[in-house]
A and B are shown apart, each in its own frame.
Chain A
Amino acid sequence: MMNNEVKILEGKIELDYKWNPGNSVGRFLTGLRDNKEILGVRCTKTSKVFFPPQMWSPYAQIKMDRYIPLTGQPRLKAGSIVYKAPWNLPEGIQVPYMYAAITFPGADTEILHIVCGSLDELKSLKPEDTLSIVWKEPRTGTIRDIDHFRKS
């Protein structure tokens, strides 16, 4: 009987990527970076507004390029308070925070992002409560240019 039998081989995979967001998401990220602009895109057949924007309307089966800025105050649709830090805890964020589905007036889809604040604030948040955006500085053209949302 071997006492020191090989039972585990350790390893790690590291790969570098250069992802193309595509024109729609690219335009959205550029808007965030350059103008703090929140862009949606309207399907001209169904009138539905997709946010974040995407190139293809899955129900009308048409290309979408009617971009519209969403200027209203975002609202909480639903959120879960995260107590256990995930491996990819966003930089500068601490647990507990809220992982949340957030809607913007005029958009028919929601975005998944995070809401920060004291635990009491997070606990007091209810669906439909208004939120405000905390922007990141400097902005670099990623979804994290919206650093987080907070109770308004």
Chain B
Amino acid sequence: MSVGYVLDEHLLRAYAFGDVGVGNLLAVLTDREIRLAVPALALSSALVGLSDPQRDELIGVIENNTALSISQLATVDEVMDLADTRTVADEPVDLTSAHTVAVARHLDWPIVTTDRTRWAELERAWPFRLYIVEFAEGD
């Protein structure tokens, strides 16, 4: 199975706020033709409170990079995947994180984040291991 990566809300938001490391990471991964999934709810959460120029940059990078594609929440199966992912969690989880996990599980791709600590508690909620890779300052 070919491997790609799922981008989380924190990474998308870091891009929108001008993180030059994330900007170059998306460019490098695109150059290498590595596929990247953007969960629709992660994108929606990342867009909250952004200025119009920030929104243009974030939507622009998705619209203009063939490696990036939005994982929608449009079909019955996609909705069921999200419901199942929330159902098996031991404690309530937010919709955005649950959708990111549902997409990652469906594709069997790791999640890439800029903030591993945000996932620390969340990942204990699920009875399966989450593959999360952090793009941190020391990288």
A binds B: no
Q: Which residues of A contact B (CB under 8 A)?
A: none
